[in-house]
Amino acid sequence: MFHRNTEKLESLIGGNSRFKGEIESSGTIRIDGTVEGQVVADWIVIGEQGKIKGNISARGIVVGGRVDGDLQAKEIVEIKNKGQVHGEVLTNKLMIAEGAVFEGRSTMQKEESKVVELPTKERVR
């Protein structure tokens, strides 16, 4: 789930916490409480008790709880078996576990081509 440079958890919203407003972080955020508002981070992990009502934007998003809003991830959105997403998903890779709930639309982005085309040389005969 995490890459070497995103393994460190930067912020945590605990299970007994409620947050209303926008959250922005360049690190990883774990949400076990309730958030109402937009969340932007490098990685976002929503625990089984976590609830978000608002849009989410990140490099990667893991949903174990409930999200009512749109998700946009550069790399991956993963909805765990107890996860629920009600909204649109825009990502390169979407993983939905058996038992998960997804109500909405998904759009898969094309990854940027990493192939470099070399100029062709005419053959000499």
% the chain with pLDDT above 90: 76
Q: Which helix (H) or strand (E) holds 96?
A: strand 93-96
- pLDDT above 50: residue 2: no
Residues 23-62: tens digit of each pLDDT: 999 999 999 999 999 999 999 999 999 999 999 999 999 9
With cut-offs at 50, 70 and 90, classify the pLDDT of residue 1: very low
Tell me what pLDDT residue 125 has: 53
Report the chain's mean pLDDT, rounded to a whole number.
88
What pLDDT score was predicted for residue 10?
83
Question: Bridge-partner residues for 39, per DSSP?
Answer: 23, 56
21: left (phi over 0), alpha (psi -120 to 50) or beta: left
Of 56, 98, 50, the residue nearest 77 (C-alpha): 56
